[in-house]
Amino acid sequence: MESYNIALIPGDGTGPEVVREAVKVLKAVSDRFQFKLDFTEYDFGGERYLRTGETLPDSAIDELRQHDAILLGAIGHPDVKPGVLERGILLRIRFELDQYINLRPVKLYPGVDCPLKDKGPEDIDFVVVRENTEGLYVGGGAFLRRGTPQEVAIQESINTRFGVERCIRFAFQYCRKRNKEKKLTLCGKTNVLTYAWDLWQRVFEEVAGEFPDIKTDYAHVDAITMWFVKNPEWFDVIVTDNMFGDIITDLGAMIQGGMGIAAGGNINPEGVSMFEPIGGSAPKYTGKNMINPLAAICAAGMMLEHLGEIEASQTIERAVMEVTSKHLKSLAAGKMGYTTTEVGDLVAEYCTKV
Ligand code: IPM
Ligand code: MN
């Protein structure tokens, strides 16, 4: 029997509540499809930081490296200065495990309220491939004359040929495998950011030569935010840099029904990947059994797909669709008509039969 070692990082706020439901669903499909999951839980997050002053212990990255995948709940604590945990935990894992792709499916499930007029599940079904280790996120830059009226702040976007190429190649391969419209859109800003996007465009055109079956397209990042709202049906797979990807995927989350359902994967195709609901730790709802666990459940589904448990992953998706179409009144915390645990129970139950 196939067996996988999964590291769980429930994290802060509502993270533990949603991870609990994701694990419930994972157990349901692993029973049904006959594979084994061994979970190791890590207490990284705000509470641990406040107790110990440490974001990640030195041994953490090496321990995480021993697993087949990581499932993360949420990172962010109201008593910790913004940025400390994000940089010290989330970004550090992405960088040190070289999870160079941030994969964000944007799919509107049946029964889910969409803020776009006259758009339905047939219109909203695309995937954003965001570069996840470079660009503005590298933290390159400097202050000059800090705190004086002549202050200069430099924040550099680092784009390496190697980093851009592996991201674009992943996107082409992913687009081929997805086999929907076989259309890959490069999202950039070639008209203004003429160094970074010149490199991206050249590499994109070059790699496109290896994928004659994939149609290519280009959209400026500002225009794409407009098209997401006006014509989301135009998109199949989109590839973009770290910062633009961060921004457009929040918009993507909204058009698919909000943070209650939005999941993502931090992928190292040759290493250990980490899957997460993309919403935050929602301190307001912590411990209330009100938060929507579907995003974490969908992240667990993405994790299984990545591990090669395709049937199990598709089953989770079908079960989630049963729940969105037949049960939930809304995806918003406290408005679902069910508690967090009830939603997890429902999905787990459908996983035994759909
Ligand atoms: C995301 C988040 C992170 C990012 C933050 C929490 C550092 O917004 O996963 O999109 O900016 O990448
Ligand atoms: Mn973000």
Token readout for 283 is: 């301190």
> Which CB contacts under 8 angstroms, 24+ apart, belong to 205-210?
207/165, 207/168, 207/169, 207/172, 208/172, 208/184, 210/169, 210/172
Mutation test of ligand 1: which of 72, 85, 90, 254 has the most ligand atoms closer than 8 Å to its C-beta? 90
Question: What stretches of the chain adopt beta strand conformation (E)?
Answer: 3-11, 36-41, 69-74, 101-107, 125-131, 141-144, 152-155, 183-188, 215-220, 237-240, 263-267, 273-277
Does 246 sit in the ligand 1 pocket, CB within 6 Å?
yes
The pLDDT value given to residue 171: 98
The response to whether residue 128 sits with its C-beta less than 6 Å from ligand 1 reads no
The ligand minimizing its distance to the Cα of 11 is 1
The answer for residues whose C-beta is within 8 angstroms of residue 108's C-beta and 6 or more apart is 114, 119, 120, 121, 123, 124, 125, 255, 256, 257
- Residue 349 CB coordination number (10 Å): 15
Residue 1 CA to ligand 1 center (angstroms) comes to: 36
Q: How far is CA 23 from CA 234, 299, 310, 334, 353, in A?
A: 35, 11, 17, 21, 18
Compute the distance between CA of residue 244 and CA of residue 222 in angstroms, rounded to an integer: 9
Q: How far apart are CA 213 and CA 228, in angstroms?
A: 25
Q: pLDDT class for 183, splitting at 50, 70, 90?
A: very high
For tokens 């692993």, the residue is 30
- The Cα–Cα gap between 104 and 262 comes to 8
Query: If you average pLDDT over residues 2-29, what whole number do you get?
Result: 98
Give me the pLDDT at residue 337, please. Answer: 97
- Model confidence at 166, pLDDT cuts 50, 70, 90, reads very high
**Contact between residue 22 and residue 299 where contact means Cβ atoms under 8 Å apart:** yes
Q: How far apart are CA 76 and CA 262, in angstroms?
A: 17
Superfamily in which the 114-256 domain is placed by CATH:
Isopropylmalate Dehydrogenase (3.40.718.10)
DSSP letter, residue 108: P
Report pLDDT digits (tens) over 86-127.
Answer: 999 999 999 999 999 999 999 999 999 999 999 999 999 999
The confidence score (pLDDT) of residue 52 equals 95
What value does the mean pLDDT take over residues 225-244? 98
Sequence-distant (6+) residues with CB within 8 A of 191 are 220
Indicate the pLDDT class of residue 296, thresholds 50, 70 and 90: very high
Give the angle 242-223-187 at the CA atoms, nearest 5°.
35
Q: What ligand is nearest to the CA atom of residue 104?
A: 1
CA distance 290 to 222: 35
pLDDT for the residue 106:
98
What's the CATH fold of domain 1-100+283-354? Answer: Isopropylmalate Dehydrogenase (3.40.718)
- pLDDT at 269 (0 to 100): 97
Average pLDDT over residues 281-296: 96
Residues that are catalytic: 137, 189, 222, 246, 250
Burial level of 19, CB count in 10 A (0-12/13-18/19+)?
Answer: buried
Q: One-letter amino acid identity for 24?
A: K
Tell me if 309 CB under 6 Å of ligand 1.
no
Q: Does the beta carbon of 12 lie inside 6 Å of ligand 1?
A: no
Predicted pLDDT of residue 323: 98
- Residue among 310, 328, 318, 300 at smallest CA distance from 354: 318
User: Which pLDDT score is estimated for 120?
Assistant: 97
Query: How far is 341 from 64, CA to CA, in rounded Å?
Result: 28
Q: Which residues surround ligand 2, an ion (CB under 5 A)?
A: 246
The verdict on the CB of residue 86 being under 6 Å from ligand 1 is: yes
- Predicted pLDDT of residue 165: 98
CATH 3.40.718.10 intervals, the chain:
1-100+283-354, 114-256
**Rounded distance, CA 127 to CA 268, Å?**
17
| Predicted local confidence at residue 55, as pLDDT | 97
Identify the nearest ligand to the CA of 82 by its number: 1
The pLDDT assigned to 346 comes to 98
CA distances for 353 relative to 105, 151, 302, 317, angstroms: 25, 63, 20, 13
Q: What is the largest CA-CA distance in the chain?
A: 66
pLDDT one-digit tens code per residue, 38-59: 999 999 999 999 999 999 998 9
Q: Which atom of ligand 1 is least distant from the CA of 87?
A: 7
* 126 within 8 A of 238, measured Cβ to Cβ: yes
Of residues 68, 14, 19, the one with CA closest to residue 300? 19
